[in-house]
Each structure stands twice: as C-alpha cells, then as structure tokens.
Chain A
Amino acid sequence: MHWSTGEESGRALVTPAGRSPAELPLVYWFQLAYGSLSCLIGCWVWLLRPSEWGARMFAVTGSCFALLTLGPAIYSVRGLALQGDLFRLLSSLNHLGAILFGCGLVALMLSYPRLLLAPRWLALPFVIFLPTFVLDALRLAPNQDWGMRIPIMSQMLLAIALGGWQWRRAREDALGRAALRWVLLSSLVGCGLFVFLMVGSTLLGSLPPIPQGYALGLFLVMYIGLALGVGRYRLFDLDRWAYRVLIWVAGAFLVLLLDSVLIAGLHLAPDSALAVALLASGWMYFPLRQWLLVRLLGARRPLEDALGEIVALALLPESAARAHRWEALLQQVFAPANIVPLPDPGPPTAALLDEGLALAVPAHADSRALRLNLRDSGRGLFGPEDVRFTDNLLSLLRQTQLQQAGLRAAAQGERQRLAQDLHDDLGSRLLMLIHRTRDRELTGIAREAMADLRSILSAIDGPGASLADVLANGRAEASARCEAAGRKLDWQVSEELPLHWLSSHTRSVLERCLRELLTNALKHGAGDPVAIDARVDSAGLRLAVTNPLPGAEAEWAMGRGLRGLARRLAALGGQLNIDRQHPSQARVELVLPL
C-alpha cells in the first residue's frame, strides 16, 4: 500500500484480515436497509399496479436507489483502504444508480398522476443522461461537477418543473391535487433535503458534516411518504388493503433476516437456525403484524356491533325515530364529516361517489337516500369494503322491517276483524234499540252510543285527522243535533286554528267529548243559544260549551258522562273545567294538550 501525508510518503505491506458481519459498523447495515426498503416499496406498488406507467417508474426509482446505496455501503465502511479497481467499480455502480434514480424520478413526474406525454417519451431522460454516466465512468468528463453533480442537479430541476406541470394539469381536480401535493412533497422533500445537507456540509461547510451513509436515509422520506399516501390518498389507486401485502412480504423478509443473523452472528447450524428463526419471527412477527394492521387499517367498528343496533333500530315504533337512529348508526360506523340527503330516487345500492370522497347510501322505508361525506372526518376514503358493508346493513334492515311490517299487518288485520265484529253485532243491536224503543231518552242514549261506536271504530282502524277537520265534522254534527232539538247553535271557532294532526285516539276522545258536552247542554240547558267556542293557546286546545241555565237548576254536579270524559282527557294530559260563576249559565271547558 502506498501512503502519503503530504510531507512524508512510503510503502507498507498490509494483510487484509477478514471481518465477521458483527464487526461491520452500523452505517453499513443502514445503507443496505435503505436500499432494501426503497426496493421493497417500489416493487410493492409495481406488483399491485403492474400496467401503470407511474407505478413502473416508481419501481425504477426504488430499485435504482437500492443500486445507489450498494456501493457506498461497502466503500464507506472500509477499514483503511480498498483495492483501486473495486473502489472504481463500486463508485461507478453508485453513479449509475444515482443517474438512473434521477432518470426514474423525471420519468415518474412525467407519468404520475397523469401521463403528460406518450409512454415512449419516458425513455427520454434515460437517453439524455446515460451518456453523461458513460463519459463519467470512462473519466472523459472534465471533473466531478460535469460528470455527476450537474447532471443530477438538472434532473432534480427537471423533476420539479414537471411536478409543476402535473400541478397545473390537476387544477380542476381537488382530490387529484391533494394526492399530488403529497407525492411532490414526499419525493422533493426527500431528495431536496439530501442535496441541501450534502451541499451544505461539504461545499459551504456551514453545517456539521453528516456521513453520506446516514444522509442517504433522507431518501426514505420519499418511499415511506408514498407508502403512507397509499392509505390516505389512494395513490396509484391502491387502498389500505395494499398494506396487507406489504406486511406479508415484510414478514417473509423478517424470517430471512433473522435466519441469516442467527447463522452468521450466532454461528448456529443452518437447521437449528431456521427453527429458531421461525420461532422468533412467530413471536415477533405476528404481534408486530397485528399491531401494524390495527395501526394502518384503523380499529374499525366490527359488523357484529352494528348488527344488534340495526335490529334495535328496526324495532323502534316511529318512522322519524328510525330515520334518526339510522343516521346515527352510519355516523358511528363511518364517522363521516357530515351526512346530507341525496335527491330522489337515489341509488339502488350503495355506491362510491367522487372516487371515495363520499358514499351514497340508498333510501329505505324510513329514510331518504343519503350522502356521507369524507370518511373518518377526512382521514380516509370510502372503499369497496364500505359499499359491501352498507349493502349488508341495508338488507338486514329491510328484512327486519319486512318482518315487522308482517306483524303490523297481522295486528291491523286483527283490529279490522274486531272492528267488523263490533260494527255487525253491536251496531245492529244498537240500531234495533234506536228504532224499537218508544222511550225517547233511551233512543237518545242509544243513538249517542252508536255515534261513539263510530268514533271508536275509526280510532281502531282509521287514520288520525287534522284538528280543523275534526272541528268541522263536530260543527256539522252539532248543527244537525241542535236543529233536531229545535235549539240555536252559536259556533264560535276561530277559522285560524294552527295546523295540528291528531292521532286516531285523540281524535276519537275529542269527538266523544264534544258530543257529550252538547248532550249535556241540550238536556240540562234551556234557552238559546248553545254556544261553542274554541281556541288554541300554550296549554293546547280549549273548547267550551256554554248554555243558559233555567234559574232553578243552579246546582248541578259532574255526572257519570262528564266524569268519564275527565278521565279520558286526563289520560291525554288534559282536563275538564266546570265554570259555575255565572248563575244563569253553565260553561264546561275542555283542555286538550296538542
């Protein structure tokens, strides 16, 4: 070996001693790890999207980066010296890797996310820059600047320019831009930091020197960044599922790695080394894989949780409540940023909208079609898994509801049969009573019983009605009865009643109350008019029947009919007020909360 310190020089005989892997410095392993990782991630994307030019070029950069790290891994950890020929070979390999990596980066920017030119143009950077490598390798370049640095800097600038072009092309496409921003950031920050650090520490001397072997690790920003982007932005049209492939492959590597570490480091026999490696990777790999899976895929709510909820939802009695619960369930499962209704009729099955930014959920009996925007409040995209999940959820809901509808129809049928029986048996007997008895009072009672029967029948199988309609019917009935009794009716009900829908039960109670109050007024009262007034205030509907009393009958108590009314009203939260302040008139007011 020749040596020189500037003042002295001489020759010495050096005998290289073998080094075991355990003696190699850490930076050697680091560089090999960078190369393996970039190669692994590049090939991962390429294997999953083999026909896409962007993925292919990404794989080119990954494998070329591995090539780039190979040389330095060896020559940067040399003990004292390296054979000149080997050094030159390794150095050339490093330069080849660097140039090819740069070409790959330019081609990547040309082809991802969109192909800017026809695919054959992707060869252009290679055609331009490979000759500079040949010149450099043959030592025809004037110096290292022309041989290496200038070509690499121009590649970087070209890649940045092409990134700008991609950016402009994506201006109409917000999602594409977000993904592109991620790609540009990861690749340009990774490469740029390296260039900045190396140039900064060696040329300017303003930064503490960082061994190139470690600095190369900055390139991993690009690969790890893009790998993370797959889950977040569905880069290369991939999604979280792609991580499973990566983890699986990484697991296989882990087995190999442990195997070789054990063979080389512990000097175990290959047979037992494999067994120990398998055992160790079993202990390490599976828990690690599980941890990674949960981290990468997120702990999603399992279907089983939603199962119980969907059945509970279907059993809720009111449609509005079911619709509300449905939205709450979707919110729990997908945690979207918001849920908005879709215009009718909506999609027949669940579907991805805007490339996974939103999920369209079909309508069902209780809910309109919905659009869920931004899964996990924007931390993820909707995928095919979510579509299947939603469809399953819906089919479960529909089946449960169908069964419920069957039960309800059976109950409704039973109610109608009951109504029919009441009508046929009770109705015809009351009819006979009305027409056969000579007692006028009994006739009147039977006739009211018949009217009550009609109210009950409509409560059993009829729909509810609006307050205004019930009062209109009441007016017609009261008019007819007053006319038959030869009394004058003064109907004072505001035409401006607020819109209220009464359930069939409430409706029937109100009808029977009005009937009973009028009966009382016609029976006990004397003189005209029988006044009925109604208004709605904060307590609900206030309806009062007022009639003049003959002077003698100042004392009257609540009869059986009125007590029954008071009881029914109380069940609905209402009450009956008897006003006897005025000696010559009776006023009974019912209050019915609405």
Chain B
Amino acid sequence: MNRVLIVDDLQDARELLTELVTAGFPQAHISTADSVAAAQAAIARQGFDLALVDLSLADGFGTEVIALLHEQQPDCMTVVASIHDDDERLFAALQAGASGYLLKDQPAELTLRQLQNIADGQPPLSPAMARRLVQYFQGRQQSDVAPVVEEALTPREREVLGLLARGFTLSDIARQLEISRHTVGDHVKNLYRKLDISSRAQAALHAQRFGLT
C-alpha cells in the first residue's frame, strides 16, 4: 500500500482519512482529491494501490471515480468510505468495481482492521447489501441473459449469502457451517468477484446490443 488516493469533498474528512492511513501504512505516499475532476486528473498522473472514495462529491458521484479506477488501474484496491449506509448507492459502487466499503465514523482501529481485511480479500458485507446481492443473482438467473458460468453462485456461497442477509457475522457463519472464518471470508470475496464479473458481462452485453463493440 505505497500509493494511496483519498477522494472526499470535505477538508476535515480528507485529513481524518489521511491520518488513519498514515497510522496504518506509515510509509505510504498519499494523494488527495476533493472532486471527481481532481480524482480523474490524479488517476491520469499516476498509479495507485489503494483508493478511499466518498460517494457524494461536489461535482458528481464517487461511483464514476471507482469505475474509472477499475478500468484503468484494475490492480488498485478501491474502497468506499462513506457516512451513508444507503444500500442503493453502495450496491452501485460495488457493481462499479469497489472491493469493499467502510463507514467513516467507525473507530480507527476497526477501520484499519477492515482495510486490512479488504486487502486480505475479506471485505465486509452488511445484511442489507447481502439481500441486494441475493435479489441480484436471483434476477440474473431468471433473466434471458445466458448466465456466464463463473458468475453462477455455488450452493455454499448461496448459503453464506443467505446467513449474511439474516444478520449473521462471519464468525457466526463459520460456527453455523462448521468451517473456518477464513473460508467464510473467501466465500464473501468470491461473491464480490462474481458481482463484478457479472456486471462487467452485463455491460459488455449492453455494449454489444447497442453496437458499441
């Protein structure tokens, strides 16, 4: 995590996140941006390993920044940092390619732990988001679009998703399914990946339909 981008339109919030990242990754070089335009410029200038992006920006939505990073710097880990837990916007951000999200008002230790978990491929998934995912994958299954093999959920993944939707923590799920917490985390990571794959497949399909490719 050497090169970090922080995108937030509030000065105080940028400072706060900068402190937080500095505490967690002391050797990191941190760039900040206060708007979609500034973020685009920063992305054009250099590559990043980690980006913390707020969703409501003065000149647009953080989702645009996330989509741009996902396309131009696929190796960069993009995390939504918000004080909203509005699942509508978060879901859009995940579909755009965000690897996870965190709430800015969480204790610094928790945020750092979550960042570490995201970096380890164990992103959090709230019950509301899990329900969105359930709906989304069910909808995909029933749609006329032939499902891409990779995006279909395994029975285990469906089980994990169902428990997450009912408010179980990763530890609860590990106990319930008698598997390690780490394995549960892997399932969650796969859920994110499949959401991403399927949304890319969907985008490609749309592009094809409209004659863009």
Cβ contacts under 8 Å, A428 to chain B? 10, 12-13, 83
0/1 interface trace, chain A 407-439, chain B, CB 8 Å (1 if under): 000000000000010011001101110110000
Assess whether A423 is in contact with B16, with CB atoms less than 8 Å apart.
no
Cβ contacts under 8 Å, A473 to chain B? 126-128, 167
- Which residues B48-99 have CB closer than 8 A to chain A? 56, 83-86
Of the listed residues A430, A443, A480, the one surrounded by the most CB atoms of chain B closer than 10 A to its CB is: A480
Complex CA distance for A428 and B11, rounded to whole angstroms: 10
CB distance from A526 to the nearest CB of B (A): 21
If A450-B105, A472-B127 touch, does A431 touch B83 (CB 8 Å cutoff)? Answer: yes
Assess whether A475 is in contact with B167, with CB atoms less than 8 Å apart.
yes
Assess whether B168 is in contact with A475, with CB atoms less than 8 Å apart.
yes
Complex CA distance for A526 and B58, rounded to whole angstroms: 46
Among A447, A469, A484, A495, the residue within 8 A (CB) of B127 is: A469
If A423-B84, A472-B127 touch, does A484 touch B107 (CB 8 Å cutoff)? Answer: yes
Assess whether A475 is in contact with B85, with CB atoms less than 8 Å apart.
no
Cβ contacts under 8 Å, A434 to chain B? 105
0/1 interface trace, chain B 1-24, chain A, CB 8 Å (1 if under): 000000000101100100000000
Of the listed residues B108, B127, B128, B168, the one surrounded by the most CB atoms of chain A closer than 10 A to its CB is: B127
Main secondary structure of the interface of A (DSSP, over half): helix
Cβ contacts under 8 Å, B13 to chain A? 428, 431
The reply to whether the CB of A515 lies closer than 8 angstroms to some CB of chain B is no
Cβ contacts under 8 Å, A430 to chain B? 105
Cβ contacts under 8 Å, B10 to chain A? 424, 428
Complex CA distance for A474 and B166, rounded to whole angstroms: 10
Assess whether B169 is in contact with A476, with CB atoms less than 8 Å apart.
yes
Complex CA distance for A443 and B110, rounded to whole angstroms: 14
Name the residue on B nearest A433 (C-beta). B105
The reply to whether the CB of B160 lies closer than 8 angstroms to some CB of chain A is no
Cβ contacts under 8 Å, A424 to chain B? 10, 56
Assess whether B166 is in contact with A475, with CB atoms less than 8 Å apart.
yes
- Which residues B86-140 have CB closer than 8 A to chain A? 86, 104-105, 107-108, 110, 126-128, 131
Among B12, B83, B105, B128, the residue within 8 A (CB) of A469 is: B128
The reply to whether the CB of A454 lies closer than 8 angstroms to some CB of chain B is yes
Cβ contacts under 8 Å, B105 to chain A? 430-431, 434-435, 446-447, 450-451
- Which residues A444-492 have CB closer than 8 A to chain B? 446-447, 450-451, 454, 457-458, 462, 468-469, 471-476, 479-480, 483-484, 491
The reply to whether the CB of B159 lies closer than 8 angstroms to some CB of chain A is no
How many inter-chain residue pairs (CB < 8 Å) link A and B?
Answer: 72
Complex CA distance for A431 and B20, rounded to whole angstroms: 13
- Which residues B136-161 have CB closer than 8 A to chain A? none
0/1 interface trace, chain A 312-333, chain B, CB 8 Å (1 if under): 0000000000000000000000
Assess whether A472 is in contact with B104, with CB atoms less than 8 Å apart.
no
Among B16, B84, B108, B166, the residue within 8 A (CB) of A472 is: B166
The reply to whether the CB of B165 lies closer than 8 angstroms to some CB of chain A is yes
- Which residues A278-319 have CB closer than 8 A to chain B? none
Complex CA distance for A447 and B83, rounded to whole angstroms: 11
Cβ contacts under 8 Å, B128 to chain A? 469, 473
CB distance from A454 to the nearest CB of B (A): 6
Cβ contacts under 8 Å, B167 to chain A? 471-476, 479, 491
Name the residue on A nearest B165 (C-beta). A472
Cβ contacts under 8 Å, A431 to chain B? 12-13, 16, 83, 104-105
Complex CA distance for A470 and B165, rounded to whole angstroms: 11
Complex CA distance for A427 and B82, rounded to whole angstroms: 10
Complex CA distance for A474 and B105, rounded to whole angstroms: 18
Name the residue on B nearest A440 (C-beta). B107
Cβ contacts under 8 Å, B165 to chain A? 472
Cβ contacts under 8 Å, B131 to chain A? 469, 472
Among A450, A458, A476, the residue within 8 A (CB) of B83 is: A450
CB distance from A486 to the nearest CB of B (A): 13
Complex CA distance for A473 and B126, rounded to whole angstroms: 7
If A431-B104, A473-B126 touch, does A454 touch B85 (CB 8 Å cutoff)? Answer: yes
Of the listed residues B16, B84, B105, B131, the one surrounded by the most CB atoms of chain A closer than 10 A to its CB is: B105
Assess whether A427 is in contact with B127, with CB atoms less than 8 Å apart.
no
Cβ contacts under 8 Å, A479 to chain B? 167-169, 172
Complex CA distance for A486 and B145, rounded to whole angstroms: 47
Complex CA distance for A454 and B128, rounded to whole angstroms: 14
Complex CA distance for A473 and B169, rounded to whole angstroms: 11
Assess whether A432 is in contact with B86, with CB atoms less than 8 Å apart.
no
CB distance from B212 to the nearest CB of A (A): 33
Among A435, A446, A454, A475, the residue within 8 A (CB) of B16 is: A435
Cβ contacts under 8 Å, A468 to chain B? 166
Complex CA distance for A428 and B54, rounded to whole angstroms: 12
Assess whether B169 is in contact with A480, with CB atoms less than 8 Å apart.
yes
Cβ contacts under 8 Å, A450 to chain B? 83, 105
Complex CA distance for A447 and B16, rounded to whole angstroms: 15
Name the residue on B nearest A429 (C-beta). B12
Cβ contacts under 8 Å, A483 to chain B? 169
Cβ contacts under 8 Å, A446 to chain B? 105
Complex CA distance for A584 and B165, rounded to whole angstroms: 35
Complex CA distance for A491 and B13, rounded to whole angstroms: 35
Complex CA distance for A388 and B131, rounded to whole angstroms: 48
- Which residues A346-384 have CB closer than 8 A to chain B? none
Cβ contacts under 8 Å, B166 to chain A? 468, 472, 475, 495
Complex CA distance for A443 and B104, rounded to whole angstroms: 13
Complex CA distance for A479 and B128, rounded to whole angstroms: 15
Among B84, B110, B168, the residue within 8 A (CB) of A454 is: B84
- Which residues B161-192 have CB closer than 8 A to chain A? 165-169, 172
Complex CA distance for A372 and B155, rounded to whole angstroms: 50
If A428-B10, A431-B83, A435-B16 touch, does A475 touch B104 (CB 8 Å cutoff)? Answer: no
Complex CA distance for A437 and B72, rounded to whole angstroms: 39
A-to-B contact residues, CB < 8 Å: 420, 423-424, 427-428, 430-432, 434-435, 443, 446-447, 450-451, 454, 457-458, 462, 468-469, 471-476, 479-480, 483-484, 491, 495
Known: A432-B16, A454-B83. 18 other contacts (CB 8 A): A423-B56, A428-B13, A430-B105, A431-B16, A435-B108, A446-B105, A472-B127, A472-B165, A472-B167, A474-B167, A476-B167, A476-B168, A479-B167, A479-B168, A480-B169, A483-B169, A484-B107, A491-B167
Please name 25 pairs of A and B residues whose Cβ atoms are closer than 8 Å in the assembled complex, sorted by A.
Answer: A420-B56, A423-B83, A424-B10, A428-B13, A428-B83, A431-B83, A431-B104, A431-B105, A434-B105, A435-B105, A435-B108, A443-B107, A446-B105, A450-B105, A457-B86, A472-B167, A473-B127, A473-B128, A473-B167, A475-B166, A476-B126, A476-B168, A476-B169, A479-B169, A484-B110
Pairs A-B, 4 closest by C-beta atoms: A475-B167, A472-B167, A472-B127, A479-B169
